[in-house]
Chain A
């Protein structure tokens, strides 16, 4: 169990940020969020207000880890790593949004991120695509156990 995001991310690196906002200016998630919430503000909150100011915020889960922010950061701060660290701690504390939890559950049970409905099967048939074969769920379960993710997320 981790107690602090600083176990996963070197806090020293954050002092180099001077809030130029090139990260948020490049962020695809910021484009869909209210008040353009993005990496810049997350980083500033972490630094000035501490991790508790961001850990319960559902908006952090909009990060797709596309790493464009990191690519353009003039100070070469590993922003995506910071966001991942926040998500990890949030997940451990059970602050996982329902939708994300549902997705993980789905992967654990079916090995897929999407629900395969009957319509999907019919559509595939129409398009002459081969039917979807069942996936090795045991293996995924093994991975989840090994990484401890099933306990963290209290998966059924």
Chain B
């Protein structure tokens, strides 16, 4: 709905209160906060400007509340940290004092200023002044907003049936919610089911997991969907519509798991559960404790593929007649309120590290293969035998950090391999005490509760720890014994160790199919490929998408205990939403001014959420408020100014651009950053204290798709030396694919600049993720170099030739209502 004129005339004069936070010494030691406050006090509309030691503290908030009441403030600006941290805090404070929370604005003078300009106090103070000026300019134009209330379905979806998924499903089911647990494999259990013992307690892994698995199987609130894939997810927090494909099992649920079918099946294949160390039949069960215990037929292996029955031995053998060759995939449509992603990890495949000879030398195995070998339910019945001659090895070597901490594989530490190796080494000593066990390590990271004790115990039991990973492993072709050559760095001595068996302690990495889940659920990933949490410290299990939570290794490498802890946390977070039964949607949605809409339908095409529908007769569009996620890409697309985004109006953003370019624009660059990735990346650069020059001013939009060509051109027209447009990497957009529009629009301006003979280099487009603080600071340094090359003549020429298009003029007319509002101030 377009705001009515009458309302505007009623509006009071803006009475803005500005609070410049020192944040102890975090800001105060670099930025002259008193000077910034004095500067702010002179800005139009500002009635008071103060400095605070800690504005976010209770007394700090109390002061704001008191001023709202006593000084009749109707806008509040706090210059402190990133709005991603404390905007909700201050919004609540405003609300408590009777001020609409959308009349609050923040200037980020910590992450984007004091922390990144530690050695340029003067520059930082000037920049802080600019940032406050931008916030005040925007605050003047803020309007009160009402949030929309959306109901939340009291049903949850858990994706992944490993220990994290199991725990999350049980917690939610026990809280009384209906839970759908979707698992790709024929049985739940995940990686934990494959492991023999757990560290540091040396509990039997399957013994502690199996009771939980069967509880899932019989829980009245859990619907277990194995052999299933999530194919599509639509909707929004509280109201997700999920399509799941249940693959045909070809064995009915009435199966008693007697195993008669397997006995007669003629087809064999490597057993995935035993990492290929044994064989299974085409009709099989993954492992003895599988839940559900129902067998399944692997149709890719069975002779009856494509409905032609060439063999029916299993059918004949089954007394209960459970075999059904005609079984078909089923599609299920689920309505859920919350989703927990517990998709787990893959294990690193060390084949590319040819110097260790994995897959070339039979006696070089991975730690997961070792788990199956030492497990009583495994292919060797718990006897650690070496693959080449089935002999129990006398000397066993472990090699650490294989596939971790390396640019050749994964750069992160996989977190679990050190303790897993120590546990494995102790297991060998327990079963065969005479075995010589040598662990070749770089650093032993025994950081958790009880971990150091286990490490000490391993050393006392006679396990040798040698610092320095072998350069290579060579094999005696006859005996197939191995020789490990390397350097003991603590003694500065080369070694040659003979070993019967070498175990590569492999790391873990994101699942190969995790991009599918990422796309379906609109998640973002860090540079390591793991799913990114909404905040690394304070929202560690939330995703940026409301209503979706993370559990287990999908979020990052972790051990069983941490996975379970995180699963409990994710379940608890989902529980909060579902127990309230409703959720408020931030009032940043798009709205249509029907009088201005020409029915061109461009907005319908760019909306990633199909939230805009067009009247078939009048062609006039309308926005479904509950579906609109607030990216604003439709607003940037509309040629007539008929669409506006609440709380991110064109006038508000233009006011920020004007504030930046008021003084010495030729020495500055205007940066537009999306809230989720590039603004967060800039925050990360701040948190990491990556230093860069002060020349760039950041304007935050929710999505880079909100940045219209008009904003970029206005910045240039106002004399800015350079403009940076920055968003999430293509494919990682938090609004599905809205950043494709960003790219299109920037290219459009580049083209126009080329046509007008302007230096295109002055407009930069950068994809920067929330984890890429380094890339952000590099980009800023690059921008400063560009600013250095831009001459005053060039800027003046730009002002002359870069005139608004016809379309843009029309858009300007649409914006008149904002301008009108400006006039009332």
Contact = CB atoms under 8 A, between A and B. Distances in A.
A24 B485 CA distance: 10
A20 B494 contact: no
Contacts of A22: 469-471, 486
A26 B408 contact: no
Interface string A120-150: 0000000000000000000000000000000
Interface residues of A, number: 24
B493 interface: yes
Interface in A1-33: 16, 18-27, 30-31
Interface residues of B, number: 23
A151 interface: no
A20 B492 contact: no
A132 B443 CA distance: 56
Interface in B479-527: 485-489, 492-494
Nearest to A24: B487
A35 B492 contact: yes
Interface in A33-51: 35-38, 40-41
Nearest to A18: B442
A120 B443 CA distance: 54
B378 interface: no
B494 A41 contact: no
Nearest to B492: A35
B407 interface: yes
Nearest to B441: A20
Interface string B391-408: 000000000010001111
A135 to B, nearest CB: 38
Interface-centre pick from B443, B487, B494 (highest chain A CB count, 10 A): B487
Contacts of B719: none
A25 B442 contact: no
Contacts of A23: 471
B355 interface: yes
Contact of B407 (A25, A40, A76): A76
**Chain A, interface SS category:** loop
Contacts of B470: 22, 25
Contact of B492 (A36, A68, A74): A36
A136 B299 CA distance: 73
Interface string B453-496: 00000000000000111111000000000000111110011100
Given A20-B442, A74-B407, A26 B493 contact: no
A75 interface: yes
B489 A26 contact: no
A74 B405 contact: yes
Contact of B405 (A18, A25, A72): A18
B408 A25 contact: no
Contact of B487 (A36, A72, A74, A75): A36
Contact of A75 (B355, B406, B467, B469): B406
Given A20-B442, A31-B494, A75 B407 contact: yes
Nearest to A77: B407
Nearest to A16: B407
A23 B745 CA distance: 49
A22 B354 CA distance: 13
A74 B406 contact: yes
A36 B488 CA distance: 9
B443 A40 contact: no
Contacts of A38: 487
Interface of A: 16, 18-27, 30-31, 35-38, 40-41, 68, 72, 74-76
Given A22-B469, A25-B470, 6 more contacts: A19-B489, A21-B487, A26-B485, A72-B355, A72-B472, A74-B407
13 contacts: A19-B489, A21-B468, A21-B486, A22-B469, A25-B486, A36-B492, A36-B493, A36-B494, A40-B487, A72-B472, A74-B405, A74-B406, A75-B406
Interface of B: 355, 401, 405-409, 442-443, 467-472, 485-489, 492-494
- Sorted nearest first, the 3 A-B pairs with minimum C-beta distance are A25-B471, A26-B471, A25-B486
